[in-house]
Amino acid sequence: MDELVVVLVTAPRGKAVEIARVLVNERLAACINIIEGIRSIYWWKGKVEDDSEDLMIIKTIKCLLDPLRDRIRELHPYEVPEIVAIPPSYVLDEYKAWALGEMRECR
């Protein structure tokens, strides 16, 4: 069995739903939660930006990280999208079994 991974991705307001639907439909993720209306303050090209974004919390497996990353880059409007993978320290066994059953197999 593969390791579950949580991936954090921000996107412009409204774009996260579109990206999430594609990722789940293509079975690159078992589940994606979207937190709407976060505020991101960051450096970009020499100045501080202050934007309203949505945050995707993506549950996937480690072996799907490369195809997930590639698909996000294809769908995402940002030149450099935020894609941060975090291995959880604990996952409920039943949730893990469900999630693994909902994603495509790694090739």
Q: Is residue 69 part of a domain?
A: yes
Query: pLDDT tens across 33-82, in order?
Result: 999 999 999 999 999 999 999 999 999 999 999 999 999 999 999 999 99
State how many domains the chain has. Answer: 1
Per-residue pLDDT at 53? 97
What pLDDT sits at residue 63? Answer: 95
Check which CATH number belongs to the domain holding 48 and give it.
Answer: 3.30.70.120
The candidate with the shortest Cα–Cα distance to 75, out of 20, 6, 14, 13, is 20
Tokens encoding 10:
């921000």
For residues 77 and 100, what is the distance between their CA atoms, to the nearest angstrom?
Answer: 29
Query: How many angstroms separate the CA atoms of 96 and 19, rounded?
Result: 23
- Domain assignment of residue 107, yes or no: no
In a domain, residue 10? The reply is yes
Whether 16 is in a domain gets the answer: yes
Supply the range of the domain harboring residue 30. 4-102
Mean pLDDT of 78-94: 96
CA-based end-to-end distance of the chain: 14
